[in-house]
Amino acid sequence: MNKRAGIGFYLFLVIFVFLVMFPFIWVFLTSIKPVGEIFTSFRWFTANPTLASYEAALTNRPLMRYMLNSFVVSSLTTILAVGCAAFAAYAVTRLPIKGKGIFLGVILAASMFPQVAIISPIFNLVTDLGLRNSYIGLVIPYLTISLPLSIWILSTFFQKIPFELEESAKLDGASPFQTFRKIIFPLATPGIFTTAILVFIAAWNEYLFALTINSDDIWRTVPVGISMYQSEYSVPWGDISAATVIVTIPIVVLVLIFQRRIVSGLTSGSVKE
């Protein structure tokens, strides 16, 4: 019975992984097919694999520029969001401040607003500041959607750190900022790192704000840039598939390199005594 259960589990695992990976596998197989086969054949594999779609994806549109824009905007958003969220989460969870529940409630309410509901005032704000078609013009709205998530996640980690550590630091004459910098922040590193990865990926994949605020082609990010591959009369699925594979590689490499830290951050949240 145990052997059958083990075989059933691994069979279920294989099927589950296949279902999860199927869209990525299909996109990759489509990207190496000749253009004529994409529309005339539904076979999984092609007898004549080609990299023509990759060449077209890199030459027909400034894909590398789109990737640079996404990287800069996502990096700035991650640094600012996680930095501000760390201080806010520390103040809410560790310091004797009145109205903590109201503050967290406001954060939760802000995170529930759909992007389409706030796109108009943010667009007007960015336009009045003269920040359209710039990196900062995208970082500002990205912070509005990443800060609530970051504060909530980091608050969970900060709450699990024993208060005895702060009391010991106070007895040694440490200020609240010194306590945060030398004790709380290092202990919460797994959660901070995990939050940074989640914010970076969310900013990398964001579409609505990027489409609305940065209308100049040279300032477009990856999601918007890929959507511009289609023309009025045709949709070059080969180019789109190849571009999708290219822009997914950095995220996959990032996750693979830091997977242990990500898993540690998701599964931790307490400090072993």
**How many domains does the chain divide into?**
1
In a domain, 176, yes or no: yes
pTM for this entry: 0.81
Q: What pLDDT shows up at residue 264?
A: 58
Confidence of residue 3 (pLDDT cuts 50, 70, 90): low
Of residues 202 and 158, which shows the higher confidence score?
202
Per the domain annotation, does 148 fall within a domain? yes
**Domain CATH for 206:** 1.10.3720.10
In a domain, 97, yes or no: yes
Domain assignment present for 3: no
User: What are 61-100's pLDDT values in tens digits?
Assistant: 888 999 999 999 999 999 999 988 888 888 888 777 777 7
Structural domain boundaries, residue 202 = 62-228
In a domain, residue 212? The reply is: yes
> Which of the four pLDDT bands, split at 50, 70 and 90, describes residue 139?
very high
Structure tokens at 18: 């296949």
pLDDT for 24-49, tens place per residue?
888 888 888 887 777 776 777 777 78
Burial 109-121 (b: 16+ CB within 10 A, else e): eeeeeeeeeebee
How far, in Å, CA of 241 to CA of 26, rounded? 9
- Angular region, 269: left φ>0, alpha ψ -120 to 50, beta rest: left
| Residue 158 is assigned to a structural domain of this protein | yes
The set of long-range contacts for 165-170, using a CB threshold of 8 Å and a minimum separation of 24, is 166/94
| Residue 181: inside a domain | yes
What is the reported pLDDT for 41? 67
Provide Rg for the chain, Cα atoms: 23
Q: Does a structural domain hold residue 1?
A: no
